[in-house]
Amino acid sequence: MNKQTNFFTWTEESIREAAQLLIQQEVVAFPTETVYGLGANASNEQAVAKIFEAKGRPADNPLIVHVSNKDQIKQYVTEITPLAEKIIDAFMPGPVTVILPSNGSIAKNVTAGLTTVGIRIPDHPAARELIEQADIPIAAPSANISGKPSPTSAIHVYQDLNGKIAGILDGGPTGVGLESTVVDCTTDVPIILRPGGVSAADIEQVTGVPVKDTARHEEEQTPKAPGMKYNHYEPDAPLALVFGDHTYFQALINEYQQTGKKVGVLISEELAPKLSADYMKVCGSIIDLSTIAAHLYEGLRSFKRTDVDIILTETYPEEAVGQAIMNRLTKAASITHHQ
C-alpha cells in the first residue's frame, strides 16, 4: 500500500481536514499526551482494518477507543462501573484506560471479538479537538510499525508510516512518553493489565481498594488490552538489560567491544559520566523517573541512526512510573545481565 500522506501542522483548519479524513474512513496519526496514536473510526470495521494493515499488527490484539468526554464513554458501554467512575473522575482526561463491558457499538476488530472495550479520554487538546470535530469514537494504537518503539513525535510517525496512512497531525512532542495505564474495571477490584503514567498507588488512593497487578504475568491467549501479547518496543539492535553498578556496566561494555562489537548505551544523566561506550544516549534523571519515561522511546529509536551491534540499558526501580519503564524495557530486551 502506498498513498499520499498529508502532514498537518496543528491549527483549527488542519484539525478540520484531519477530521474529514477520519469521517471518510481513512487513518490519521495524531498526538496524545502519552504517544502518537494511529486513529480510525472505531465503529467502522473497514476503517479499523486499515490500522492493522498500516502497522502490520496482529488482529487479535485489541485497540483502545479514544473519546473526548465522559458522556461519550456511556455511548459505547453497557455501564460505567463504580470502580471505573472513580478512576474516570480522578484521572481523565489523562494517561489511563478503563476496560468496561461493550454494548456492541464498537467494531469487532477493535475489541478483538471480546465483550469488553478499553476507553480513554486523552489529555491533549489536539486529540480532543480532533475527536470532537470528527464526532466519532477513534480507535488508536501507537502510530508505529508493530513491535517497534512507539512514536513520541510526528517525525517518528513519518519515519515509520509515510505512504501507508492518509495523514499525520503534528502536535509537538508528547509529554508522558509511555502508553496509558490499562485498568480492567469489570471485576470487584481494579486489575492493571498494562502499567503507565498512572500508578497502582494512584488508583488505590482514589478507589479505596487494593489493585491487582497482572502486568508481570500477562501472556494470555486472549489479551484484554494492548501490550499483553507479542514483542513490543524493540530497537534496531539487540537490547540488553543491565542489573548492576557502573563498574559491572563498564565491564560488560568492554567485554562486548573485545569481541568486535560496537556498543550503544541507554542511560541516565547520573550514570553517563561513569561510562565509556561507542554511542551514549541519555534519557533523563533517576531523581525524576518521569523524565526517563518521557524520553525512553526517542532514546530507543535514536540507535537507528548509529551502527551499534548491541544496546545496553540501565534498569530502574519498579516504583510508580518506574514499573511502566521496566515493563517496556523488559518487553524490548532480548538479553539480561545480572551482576
In the chain, count of helices (H) and strands (E)?
A: 11, 16
40 is in an annotated binding site: no
Q: Are both 244 and 203 inside the same structural domain?
A: no
- Beta bridge partners, 89, equal none
57 is in an annotated binding site: yes
Q: What is the CATH number of the domain that holds 319?
A: 3.40.50.11030
Scanning 6-69, the segments in alpha helix (DSSP H) are 12-23, 45-55
Tally the domains of the chain: 2
216 is in an annotated binding site: no
pLDDT band at 1 (very low <50, low <70, confident <90, very high): low
150 is in an annotated binding site: yes
9 is in an annotated binding site: no
pLDDT score recorded for residue 323: 94
Q: Is 287 helix (H, G, I), strand (E, B) or coil?
A: coil
Residue 228 has pLDDT above 80, yes or no: no
pLDDT score recorded for residue 224: 59
Position 234 in a domain: no
334 is in an annotated binding site: no
Q: Are both 181 and 312 inside the same structural domain?
A: no
Q: Are both 129 and 208 inside the same structural domain?
A: yes
- Beta bridge partners, 98, equal 119, 183
34 is in an annotated binding site: yes
Q: Are both 205 and 73 inside the same structural domain?
A: yes
233 is in an annotated binding site: yes
Position 223 in a domain: no
Residue 144 has pLDDT above 50, yes or no: yes
Q: Are both 193 and 301 inside the same structural domain?
A: no
Q: Are both 146 and 266 inside the same structural domain?
A: no
The mean pLDDT of 274-280, rounded to a whole number, is 97
CA dist 239 and 95 (Å) reads 26
Write out the residue range of the structural domain in which residue 27 sits. Answer: 6-213
102 is in an annotated binding site: no
Cell 455501564 identifies what position?
Answer: 79
39 CB burial (10 A radius; 0-12, 13-18, 19+)? buried
pLDDT score recorded for residue 124: 96
pLDDT band at 275 (very low <50, low <70, confident <90, very high): very high
pLDDT averaged over every residue in the chain? 93
Q: Are both 283 and 207 inside the same structural domain?
A: no
pLDDT band at 220 (very low <50, low <70, confident <90, very high): very low
pTM across the whole model = 0.92
Q: What is the CATH number of the domain that holds 121?
A: 3.90.870.10
Q: Are both 53 and 164 inside the same structural domain?
A: yes
**16 vs 58 pLDDT, higher one:** 16
Which residues have a Cβ under 8 Å from the Cβ of 178 and sit 6 or more positions away? 34, 35, 95, 150, 196, 197, 293, 296, 297, 321, 324, 325, 328
134 is in an annotated binding site: no
Position 63 in a domain: yes
The mean pLDDT of 159-174, rounded to a whole number, is 96
